[in-house]
Structure 1
């Protein structure tokens, strides 16, 4: 629920129990918060794009025609992020490529992760080690080394409940 649509009773509760003050609910404070959130989103989107390859770069890296890259994307075998507006061209995060090949089983993993995960969340999941899963090995490395998909899917599923 947006802060501008809270009832007086909801605001009073949040002020009393949520660590907020009445000043946090002024139109100016709400506008400032909304601007900060939008700035953070734009920065995260720019970072995700900066970590990505263009369609041509991905095709060259894989040694595939551009149409084959787009077909793999349409089939769910690749992951993309939206290009810089107003462009609609997909960009392909670098983490999904290793030694000129795609990381195996992306389709299954991406289907397990929440669909609304930000691309940086997906990147973090795929590239960072977690001592509690996969013997502390990042999922990308786990899969590239031919290990079983099941533990990666369980890890992704566990995270989707957090």
Structure 2
């Protein structure tokens, strides 16, 4: 029998030989490139990609690296929205953990706001406003559009919601500030010693009522006066933190921190309610 080894010499191996301990699983691209490895192709679910012959497909690591380097991940609308939200939170000085609260507050505000498209302004209404509203430039009504009106309302909702979060604390934040348990904070609210504002089923605590890790002196009297004053959170916050002529230019917060009589503040709140 003829020796076939000379007639059919072995072909030269063109694929780099793997080392015995070089498996394509559990290695980094850098290591695979260094060893010039062949990587097994698998689906995102981990199933092997097979050729028509049934053999698992392989690709040189350098080709994988080149492909990864040249591809740019597609940005979905959700990705873009998340990036916008992250930028907004950063600009407002809020953390990513505040995103849910911000969205909830905006949603609640928008539910209370009537859409211009669901309650449109008729042409006769616009004509009446142009003639009787006392506008310095009645022509501004000519440029009014319900879509622009709703966009403005949404912007106001976002601004109000962000300001509300900035000016209030969650129950966990209040507990951390007071160095107390959450149940203690809830008990103080029930006893009229801390003010909590319910928003979307969760309590928020106006930050002006805290001073140096404690509740502001006189909070019981202030909370008692609020039952008749019926002030919204923003108005109350402005009242408590802005200078007051009746207090020689001090804000109610500064007045109480300095040892002032809480009944004086309660009387001022009662006067605001009567005005």
Between the aligned partners of 1:54 and 1:7, the Cα distance in structure 2 is 43
Counterparts of 1:76-155 in structure 2, within 5 Å, are: 76-81=192-197, 88-103=201-216, 104-105=218-219, 106-115=222-231, 117=232, 119-130=233-244, 132-155=245-268
Deviations along 1:92-112, one digit per CA (max 9) or x if unpaired, are: 222110122111233124334
Counterpart of 1:79 in 2: which secondary structure?
coil
Name which of 6, 9, 14 aligns with 2:129: 14
Instruction: Give 1:37's aligned residue.
Output: 153
Shift of 1:38: 2.9
Counterpart of 2:195 in 1: which secondary structure?
coil
Between the aligned partners of 1:51 and 1:11, the Cα distance in structure 2 is 38
Shift of 1:90: 2.4
Where does structure 1 differ by over 6 angstroms across 4 or more consecutive aligned residues?
Answer: 5-9
Instruction: Give 1:24's aligned residue.
Output: 141
Between the aligned partners of 1:161 and 1:33, the Cα distance in structure 2 is 34
Between the aligned partners of 2:165 and 2:229, the Cα distance in structure 1 is 20
Distance 1:23 1:91, change over 3 A: same
1:57 aligns with 2:173: yes
TM-score where L is the length of structure 1: 0.72
Structure 2: gaps spanning 5 or more residues: 1-113
Name which of 172, 183, 199 aligns with 1:67: 183
Instruction: Give 1:159's aligned residue.
Output: 272
Counterpart of 1:136 in 2: which secondary structure?
coil
Instruction: Give 2:163's aligned residue.
Output: 47
Structure 1: gaps spanning 5 or more residues: none
Shift of 1:77: 3.0
Contact 2:189 2:196 in 1 (8 A): yes
Shift of 1:82: 5.3
Deviations along 1:50-102, one digit per CA (max 9) or x if unpaired, are: 2333322211222322112112224443233456x7xx432322211012211
Contact 1:49 1:81 in 2 (8 A): no
Between the aligned partners of 2:128 and 2:246, the Cα distance in structure 1 is 39
Distance 1:47 1:62, change over 3 A: same
Distance 1:13 1:157, change over 3 A: farther
- Of the two, which has the highest radius of gyration? 2
- Larger helix proportion of the pair: 1
Number of aligned positions between the proteins: 154
Between the aligned partners of 2:186 and 2:267, the Cα distance in structure 1 is 28
